[in-house]
Amino acid sequence: MSNRVACVTGASRGIGRATALALTRAGFDVVAAATTIESNAGFAAEMRAAGGDFLAVNLDLTSPESIKNAFGRALKEKGRIDVLVNNAGITRDGLAMRMKPADWDVVLRTNLDGAFLAIQQVMLGMIRNRWGRIINISSVVGQAGSAGQANYAASKAGLIGLSKSLAQELGSRGITVNVVAPGYIATDMTKDLPEERKKAILAGVPLERMGTPEDIAAAVKFLASEEASYITGHVLAVNGGLYM
């Protein structure tokens, strides 16, 4: 049998990039999707160096048409998608009292609606093949909440509920649906936090360090593997003990 095909959204940087590389090194053919990834020469060079047979597709998760086109192209070129990693996500932080409706909408549309529409694109093929792995990247914020992040927390909590429901719907077809919930990870999304906020967060992490994108990628790689075939509907917290 040819290599399994894995699609990773938000693959151009941070957790998505680390995940695309980890899956490539583990022998998967990777479809890397992100807003402007087709022109990202640095990403392409890194993937080639990892020895991967990869396809880069531009994907705008706020656009149902873009989602349909991107997955249509991936399925046409690769034949199937065995593993979907819904990693792409955005933040538009602000206190709920002053949050603009547009900031609520775009976060939910990208992080939750986009993930669901991506799943719909690959679900039928997985059912037909009676094998599949859907791995949704949530957040510790989706489990514990976070002041000033009502929209982001709602979207990430929504992914957990979505995953548990789909795990029940798809289990009889040999498809597992799981969640990885990262804690405080060193990425572009966290680097701009004020120093005081970073110190306060780290004070609550028993392992006394920030996580790395590679820590998350390792969890995803495990859930995508044959060894994880009896795990579904699970939320795997990779947070250094920040939330237990």
Residues assigned a catalytic role: 152
Nearest of 99, 106, 187 to residue 150 by alpha carbon:
99
Q: Are 236 and 179 in contact (CB under 8 A)?
A: yes
Phi and psi for 4 in degrees, rounded to 5? -65, 150
User: What's the DSSP call for residue 229?
Assistant: T
Token pair for residue 67? 């989602």
d(CA 136, CA 177): 8
Angle between helices 114-129 and 64-78 (to 10 degrees): 30
What 3-state class would DSSP assign to 133? strand
Residues forming a β-bridge with 235: 179
Contacts of 67 (CB under 8 A, 6+ apart): 59, 60, 61, 114, 117, 118, 121
